[in-house]
Amino acid sequence: MKIFKHEIAIYGFELTIILFNETKVSSPHIHEYAEFMATVSSKEEVTNELIGKAMDGAHNGGDTLYNNLSNKFVVVFYPHTSYNQLLNSIGHEKRHVEDHIIRDCDIDGMEAAGYLSGYLTQFFMNQDIINFYNLTK
Domain ranges of the chain: 2-132
Residue 20's Cβ-count burial label (10 Å; 0-12, 13-18, 19+) is buried
pLDDT given at position 24: 65
pLDDT given at position 27: 62
Residue 25's Cβ-count burial label (10 Å; 0-12, 13-18, 19+) is buried
Q: pTM of the full predicted structure?
A: 0.88
Helix, strand, or coil here: 80?
coil
> From first to last of its 137 residues, what are the pLDDT tens digits of the chain?
888 999 998 899 999 999 988 766 666 677 777 777 777 776 777 777 877 787 777 889 999 989 888 999 999 999 999 999 999 999 999 999 999 999 999 999 999 999 999 999 999 999 899 999 989 88
